Each structure stands twice: as C-alpha cells, then as structure tokens.
Amino acid sequence: MSVSDLILAVDIGTSATKAVLFDPDVNQVAIARKHYPIHTPHKGWSEQEPEVILTAVLEAIREITDCLPERTRILGISFSAQLCSVLAVDMDGKALTNSLIWSDTRSAGIAESISQRSVARVISQRTGCPIDAIYPLSKILWLKENVELPESASFVSIKEYVIFRLTGQWVVDWSIASATGLCDIAKHEWNDTALSLLGLTAANLSELVSPRSFFAKWDKDMTDLMGLPPDVPLVIGGGDGPLASIGVGAFDSSSLAINLGTSAAARVIISRPEVDPEGRLWTYVVDEDLWVIGGVVSSGGIVYDWLLKNLFSGTEEAKYDVLTRHVHEYADRLAAAVPPGSANLIFIPYLAGELSPDWRPHTRGSFFGLDLVHNRGHLVRAVLEGITRSIYRVSESVQSLLNTQFNEIRVTGGLTSSSTWLQIAADMLGIPILVPESVEGSARGAAMLAMVALGLKSGIEDFGDLMATRQCIDTRAEIHAYYERQYPKFEELLEYARRFHGDWEV
C-alpha cells in the first residue's frame, strides 16, 4: 500500500453525509459534507427523504473524486451509517415511505404495549435492543398499521436503500441489523420471534452479511456519476456508533468511547455478545468477532444548542448567530468562571425524554434551585453538568454490568471544542479524558474495517499505534469527590421530575 493509495469512507449521518478520504495510516486527507433536513410534520415525527440522502451521498463522493491528485488510487470505499432508521420499499426498490430515523417516537405507544408482553424479554435478550420507539421493531408495526402497504413490502434502513441503488442488491450488514430489534446478535440471523410479532418473514428484509463483505463490481452508471472506476471494491461496513468506537481507538473493555453530537452515546467494545438482563443498555455488532455495549441519551448537543439559542440570541455581547463558534466560545468562558456545582443549581437534561438507562419517554427537563445569585454563566455550567450526568449514568451502568473499571475515556463530537465541558467530564466521570486527533470516528472506523476486509491489514489491532490523541484532561480528585456527593441529590430531583411530568401528561 503506497502513499498514493487511499481509502474513501462514507458516513451517512443524521444531519449530513460525509465522504472522508484517508491515507494508509488512517490520517484524514480530505472531507466533503452534504447536509439535508429532518422533517417533523407532527409531534414525535422525525423523517427524511431517501432520494435526498442518496443525492447527498453521490455529491459528497463526487466532490472528493473531483479533487483527487494525479496518480492517486482509491483502493476501496466503505460505508458507515446512522442506526435505527427504517423505510418501506416495494419489490422494485421504490421507496413507499420516508425514512423514519432514530429520534422518531410516533411508535412510543406501540413500544410500550410490546414491552408489557412476556415475549418482550425474549426478544430484547436475543437482539440486544431494549423495547423502545427508537428501534425499527416498533416503527415497522406503526407503518403497517397506519400506511397502506402491499404484503410484499420490505423494510430497510437508509443505508440498505443507498447500497441497493449503488449495487442492485438488498443486503444489510450485521452491525446495522443489530440495531433493529429484529436480529439475533449472537447468531447473526433474523429472529423468528420478533418477525412473528410483526407478521413478517425474512423475505420482507434484506440478506444479512458480514460488515467485511464487499462488491468487486457495482452499477457503472453510479460509479460514473461519482467519478469512480467500476472495479473499486465497495465494502459494506457498519453502523456509525459501533464503528466510531474502533475509529477513536477504544479497542477493548478498558476504554470507554463517548460521542457527544446531537444525542450522546457511551459504549465499550466487548469480545462476546453480552446483553444487559435489566434492559438498561443495548448491544450491537461491530465486526465479525466484536460487539459494543452501551447506551444513548437524547440530552446531547441538541440541549446545549437549545440553551444557547434561547439564552444568547440577540444579545449585545454575542453579535453572532447563536450556533456560530463565537457564541460557543463566549458561553464557555462564562461557564468556566463558575465553580463546580453551579452554586447548587441542578439541571435535569431530559428535554426530549429519557433513553438509556431507564427508557422513560415522558420525563422532561427542569432547573432546580434557581436563585437571585445565578446568572447566565451558572445556567450554562448547570446545563453542561446535567448533560454530563446523563452520560455518567450510562457509564455507571456499563461498569456495573461488566464489573470493570475504565482506564480512559475517548471522546468525540461537537462539545469537545469546549474546554470547560472536557474538564467537567473528566471530573465527573473520574477517568482521564482523551480527545483523538481525528474527530471523524465513524468514517475512520469504516476506513479501518475496509483495510481489514481488503486484506491490507490483518485485524483492527494492527491500528493500535496509529491512534494519536491531541489532548488529555486529567481528573481533579477533590472535584470528583464533590460531584459524587452531589449525585444522590440529582437522582432525587430526577425522580421528582419523572413523577411531576408523568402527572402533567394529558
């Protein structure tokens, strides 16, 4: 593999598709982004147009290939994609619905009903997915009950739709399938109990394949559109969260990977398909002999951006659009000037309900302890601490299940630009925080998997010496002890918020 040989990774995310070019040492060479909207026509709905996303994929790849230096060769292209999306297609591959994404909760009532049935535990223990509206299991049932679909309709993820349009084949990798609630994560096959519950057979779903599977040739019209030779191998790849764990260097159970984007997730690599018997966490497939266990919270960057939009928009000192870097830097300085604990101001961060570890969709957020002494800096810090608390709860659940202690935490996502948040995370979690050199963890993981699939590396462990970090933040023991003492109060207030908002629902 020479320096002119490159791997192209395509990450089909929630808000954008990124095409990222990597060199043999998985250093980022170039990146192209194409954004697209999320449609929310009704409360609880979050959907996207399949053709818009396909176009974004094609355009992002074309932008990369148009800029390739002479005598540069792309050895392969690999795919990462958002988990938990689903749409219905007909026998010809035509989309019959939009793609319902992970944040779509229209099937919450269906999920709650399924969770009360004895079969629910059987399904969740086999599939590694708690029964929740985030998963296609309940979304498919909602579509069948509310949309007129032919009996022969198939249900696929947005990644499967894109791969079909590129290759003409309906296949789904074990990683994407493992986040449907329909796939046995140990046997790598569709679960008959889950399919029976939905009135489906395997014929209504794609063929399951290894994340290392690849096509040696694919649709020439499509490769021409993207500026690729038709014989470039297309590696199926996996899901964005699982691939991000290997992409940031969290290769084993001693290292926790946290991504803080729109939502937030904390996960750890395991070598066998262990499932949480209490249903607090999910388990997904990473590769042929690797799984990842962890949890997701809705209280990520979306909550912080909500705060900035409502707290700083139009203020004299900001003078910038609220989502620009300048406002983030200004808010970060205000929060840094406030001592840990925000002068006893506690924020419950679940503005869109709880996901892991308790899966309570009706919980809502609250500030507790507001006082005349509090200013915007206290509010900003309290929100950062609240977001970190939600991640802490997932981390504690993982550690207790695996009976292990993490040596390090590798973080990626938008809030890694906040030095205040990084220190809060190190202090609250009580473990050193490492910020990887490359922030594109999912794409990087897809590139690494492609190199293994194509025989350029013998295994993921071969990348161990290439996982450079640009920053390490140590825990301050006395602040960690303070946060530990404060935690029971947070739990008490969280329970109060649950009861209050549960009673308030009409």
Residue 230: per-residue pLDDT = 86
Residue 69: per-residue pLDDT = 79
CATH 3.30.420.40 residue spans of the chain: 5-248+438-453, 301-403+414-433+476-504
5-248+438-453 maps to CATH 3.30.420.40: yes
pTM as predicted:
0.91
402-422 pLDDT tens trace? 999 999 999 988 888 899 999
Q: Which of 215-224, 237-246, 315-324, 497-506 has the lowest mean pLDDT?
A: 315-324
User: If we measure between CA atoms, which residue out of 260, 236, 239, 235 comes closest to residue 81?
Assistant: 239
Distance CA(149)–CA(119), nearest Å, equals 26
Q: How confident is the model at residue 217 (pLDDT cuts 50, 70, 90)?
A: confident
Placement of tokens 């990222």 in the chain:
20
Residue 156, C-beta contacts closer than 8 angstroms, at least 6 positions apart: 86, 87, 89, 164, 170, 172, 205, 206
Q: At what angle do helices 376-402 and 325-336 cross, to 10 degrees?
A: 90
Placement of tokens 């399951």 in the chain:
208
| Mean predicted confidence (pLDDT) in 196-219 | 96
Cα three-residue angle 165-169-28, rounded to 5 degrees: 60
The CATH T-level fold of domain 301-403+414-433+476-504 is Nucleotidyltransferase; domain 5 (3.30.420)
* Percent with pLDDT over 90 in the chain: 79
Distance CA(204)–CA(191), nearest Å, equals 13
Cα dist. 218→50, 112, 163, 206, 224 in Å? Answer: 20, 42, 10, 18, 11
Q: Which of 1-5, 202-206, 444-448, 449-453 has the lowest mean pLDDT?
A: 1-5
| Contact status, residue 437 vs residue 470, Cβ threshold 8 Å | yes
CB atoms within 10 A of CB 321: 10
299-344 pLDDT tens trace? 888 899 999 989 987 644 444 444 566 888 999 999 999 999 999 9
Burial label, 211 (beta-carbon count in 10 A; 0-12, 13-18, 19+): buried
Q: How confident is the model at residue 440 (pLDDT cuts 50, 70, 90)?
A: confident
| Contact status, residue 318 vs residue 434, Cβ threshold 8 Å | no
- Core vs surface per residue 395-429: b (16+ CB within 10 A) or e: bebbbebbeeebebbbbbbbbbebebbbbbbbbbb
| Mean predicted confidence (pLDDT) in 466-492 | 93
Cα torsion 364, 369, 372, 376 to 10°: value is: -50
Write out the two tokens for 323.
């989502």
Helix %, strand %, coil % for the chain, to 5?
40, 20, 40
Residue 79 bridge partners (DSSP)? 10
Between 2 and 12, the higher pLDDT residue: 12
